[in-house]
């Protein structure tokens, strides 16, 4: 319940800030904010993301049962504002993000994630970027979570 309240509060903050017309990286629609825990270091973040496009301009962005279909609030574009709590994990030389909530991005079993770079303020006025390449991800059938692969941190946004 506590997690739901935190995400709801953060989503309302995101909605207000996403309407501002500012160039500052911390005000962009795609941000990564550390999630405070009792531990001094945490691998948990709230990922704010703008995605999706108008159905009238989409001939179909996902193949479903052999047919291209449009899915609201998924894929390229910035029509919808979403937020999800994620955990970042290094496995070997690869970086992954796994959602810790099950409905932050969608209640569907798949997510058409567009390429996105998320600003993270590491020090006052200093930013690094988490880059997630475009990918169609499916829920884990046991945990109901999404896992994004191929992530990287850079000093400039890649997408």
Burial state string for 63-85 with b = 16 or more CB within 10 A and e = fewer than 16: eeeeeeebbebbbebeeebbbbb
Tens of pLDDT, residues 67-97: 998 999 999 999 999 999 999 999 999 999 9
CA 101 from chain centre, in angstroms, equals: 12
pLDDT the model gives residue 72:
92
CA torsion 81-113-24-17 (nearest 10°) is 10
Please choose, from the candidates 59, 49, 155, the residue with its C-alpha nearest in 3D space to the C-alpha of residue 97: 49
Tens of pLDDT, residues 17-74: 333 333 444 445 899 999 977 766 679 999 999 999 988 888 888 888 899 989 999 9
Three-state SS annotation for 37-102? CCCCCCCEEEEEEEECCCHHHCCCCEEECCEEECCCCCCCCCCEEEEEEEEEEEECCEEEEEECCC
CA 41 from chain centre, in angstroms, equals: 21
């Amino acid at each position: 319940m506590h997690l739901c309240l935190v995400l709801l509060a953060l989503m309302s903050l995101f909605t207000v800030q996403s309407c501002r017309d500012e160039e500052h990286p911390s005000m962009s629609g795609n941000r990564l904010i550390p999630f405070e825990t009792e531990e001094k270091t945490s691998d948990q973040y709230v990922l704010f993301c703008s995605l999706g496009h108008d159905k009238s301009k989409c001939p179909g962005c996902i193949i479903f049962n052999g047919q291209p279909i449009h899915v609201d609030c998924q894929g390229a574009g910035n029509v919808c504002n979403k937020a999800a709590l994620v955990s970042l994990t290094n496995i070997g030389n690869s970086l992954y993000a796994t959602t810790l909530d099950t409905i932050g991005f969608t209640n569907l079993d798949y997510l058409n994630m567009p390429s996105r770079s998320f600003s993270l303020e590491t020090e006052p006025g200093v930013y690094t970027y988490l880059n997630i390449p475009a990918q169609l991800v499916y829920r884990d059938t046991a945990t109901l979570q999404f896992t994004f692969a191929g992530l990287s941190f850079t000093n400039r946004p890649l997408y």
